[in-house]
Amino acid sequence: MLSVNVMVIWDFNLRHLRAAATISRLGSVSAAADAVHLTQPAITQALARLEGQLGQPLFLRRPDGMEPTPAAMLLVPRIDAAMAQVASQRVTMPQLRALIALADAGSYAAASAQTGLAQPSLHRAIADLSLVLRRDLVERRGRGIALTAQGRRLVRSFRLARAELVAGLSELAALDGVDAGQISVGAMPLSRARLLPSAVAAFHRAHPQAGVRIMEGSFAELVEPLRDGDLDILLGALREPLPAPDLVQRRLFDDRPVIVGRYAHPLASTAMHFGRLPDYPWILPGTGTPLRQQWERMFMDRGLTLPPVPVECGSVMTIRQILMDSNFLTLLSPDQLAVELDAGLLVRICDAPPGLVRTIGMTTRADWRPTRMQGLFIDLLAETADEMRTVPKKL
């Protein structure tokens, strides 16, 4: 989840955030000071600055200790989750920011241009971080630089830490009655037809101040941004088995694809026999995608030779145009071609076999804890999916 709050978190001091979390856990400034090896005045000063930045108190000062406010009860779990990703008390916020910026931009010069930070400052922050962690994070490759394997793993942890802190600030804003924050959605092709547009429209009507960022792509293109924390949810056909143990899936509805061709396709005006389908070229998603695997099984289960697939494509817009200009066939959800089917530009050649079903749902990180606003968006996704199951499709 990324938003304008990303810029705000760089102003925070990781030591101050750790101090607040320690006070919450131990219940007093003195105990926290002993635990983090700082003086009580230093802890008190750190807390005062943090509360000033947040614009609200995190603790009620009482004779018997410090009582967390509702703001602290929201923010501290996010701080703890972020610190677990950072995994070192010696890492600073400028170092965290510098490594993420370098990874995003690909060079010190580009990172400087994107962040406004001076190149010497970025170099120094990365060098100090490598020294503190005793890891080689960057290596020379020809005239350029690249992250080492250790550097790439650390960047993922830092991005997840950033996502937790951004979520924490969004939850504090919600505490004040502000629909702040943003949900970032990775949209695979099928989710773009009805599910996501309907849910986003309903969400915006209910929460006009909240933001939704949509990144389109295939599962292969979107899964790593999801694991990095740059995306919150991935919508589309579910994968079996999941490619990574840190991901979880939730079913929303089942989609039943149909075989589609142009309005004057030779198979459109005759009694369709399944055995004639291999006589025509097909346009399909790439090998290994769920739909392509089911298409292959559809023919193999009947002892038929797989038809030629001269064109591999996942873009519905491109598939639609090729279908209208040729005798190609495809296998797609009627939702994805609803306008063309309704207009008669494309026709349903036949239904796919009964067992050919795609499970559509959302994929998230296993440890992802949605904010209240994100939870409301997920509820809307589920409601929209329920409506799609009950409202008949027009073909």
208 CB neighbour count, 10 Å cutoff: 9
pLDDT tier, 394 (very low <50, low <70, confident <90, very high otherwise): very low
Would you say residue 93 has pLDDT above 90? Answer: yes
Alpha-carbon torsion 261, 266, 271, 276, what sign?
negative
State whether residue 336 is helix, strand or coil: helix
In the predicted model, is pLDDT for residue 5 greater than 60?
A: no
Categorize the per-residue pLDDT at 395 as very low, low, confident or very high, splitting at 50, 70 and 90: very low
Percent of all residues in the chain with a pLDDT value above 70, rounded to a whole number: 97
Question: 276-333: per-residue pLDDT in tens?
Answer: 999 999 999 999 888 899 999 999 999 999 999 999 998 899 999 999 999 999 999 9
CB 21 within 8 A of CB 161: no
Q: CA angle 48-52-53, nearest 5°?
A: 120
- CA–CA separation, 132 vs 166, rounded Å? 25
For the chain, the C-alpha Rg in angstroms (whole number) is 26
Residue ranges, comma separated, of all CATH 1.10.10.10 domains in the chain are 1-178
* Averaged pLDDT, 366-395: 84
**Per-residue confidence (pLDDT) for residue 36, from 0 to 100:** 85
Domain boundaries 257-355, CATH class: alpha beta
195 by DSSP, 3-state: which?
helix
- At residue 320, the 3 state secondary structure works out as helix
pLDDT of residue 314: 86
pLDDT of the residue at 1: 41
Local confidence band at 175 (pLDDT 50, 70, 90 cut-offs): confident
20: closest CA among 33, 37, 39? 33
Compute the average pLDDT of residues 52-77. 94
Residue 326: other Cβ atoms inside 10 A: 16
Q: What is the average pLDDT across 181-207?
A: 91
Q: What is the pLDDT of residues 136-160, one digit of tens each?
A: 999 988 778 999 999 999 999 999 9
Average pLDDT for residues 216-230, to the nearest whole number?
Answer: 94
Q: What is the CATH superfamily name and number for domain 181-254+359-390?
A: Periplasmic binding protein-like II (3.40.190.10)
Numbered ranges of CATH 3.40.190.10 in the chain: 181-254+359-390
CA–CA gap between residue 228 and residue 161 (Å, rounded)? 10
Phi-psi region of 37 (alpha: psi -120 to 50; beta: other; left: phi over 0): left
Q: Pick the closest to residue 138 from 147, 126, 128, 150 (CA basis).
A: 147
**Structure-token pair, residue 9:** 């978190």
Taking Cα atoms as reference points, which of 275, 278, 273, 306 lies closest to residue 292?
306
Q: How confident is the model at residue 4 (pLDDT cuts 50, 70, 90)?
A: very low
For the cut 70, the answer to whether the pLDDT of residue 391 exceeds it is: no
Q: Rounded to whole angstroms, how far apart are CA atoms 26 and 294?
A: 56
- Percent of the chain residues past pLDDT 90, beyond the cut: 75
Mean pLDDT of 231-254: 92
Q: Taking a C-beta distance cutoff of 8 angstroms, is the pair 29, 66 a contact?
A: yes
Q: What is the pLDDT of residue 322?
A: 96
Mean pLDDT of the chain: 91
d(CA 210, CA 235) in angstroms, rounded, equals 19
DSSP three-state, residue 273:
coil
Q: Which residue has the higher pLDDT, 392 or 9?
A: 9
Token code pair at residue 317: 């817009």
User: Angle formed by the axes of helices 372-390 and 149-175, to 10°?
Assistant: 90
Residue 72: exposed, middle, or buried by beta-carbon count in 10 A (0-12, 13-18, 19+)? buried
Query: CA–CA separation, 144 vs 124, rounded Å?
Result: 17
Q: In angstroms, rounded to a whole number, what is the distance separating the alpha carbons of residues 76 and 34? A: 19
Beta bridge partners of 146: 139
Q: Is the dihedral of CA 94, 97, 103, 108 positive or negative?
A: negative
Cα–Cα distance measured from residue 339 to residue 260, given in angstroms and rounded to the nearest whole number: 13
Confidence of residue 59 (pLDDT cuts 50, 70, 90): very high
Placement of tokens 């309907």 in the chain? 198
Q: Are strands 138-141 and 144-147 parallel, antiparallel or unpaired?
A: antiparallel
Provide the 3-class DSSP secondary structure of residue 208: coil
**Is 60 exceeded by the pLDDT of residue 2?**
no
pLDDT band at 38 (very low <50, low <70, confident <90, very high): confident
What residue spans in the chain does CATH classification 3.40.190.290 cover?
257-355
The pair of structure tokens assigned to 89 is 């008390």
| For range 200-229, the mean pLDDT | 93
Q: Is 50 exceeded by the pLDDT of residue 352?
A: yes
Topology of domain 1-178 in CATH is Arc Repressor Mutant, subunit A (1.10.10)
pLDDT at position 240, please? 85
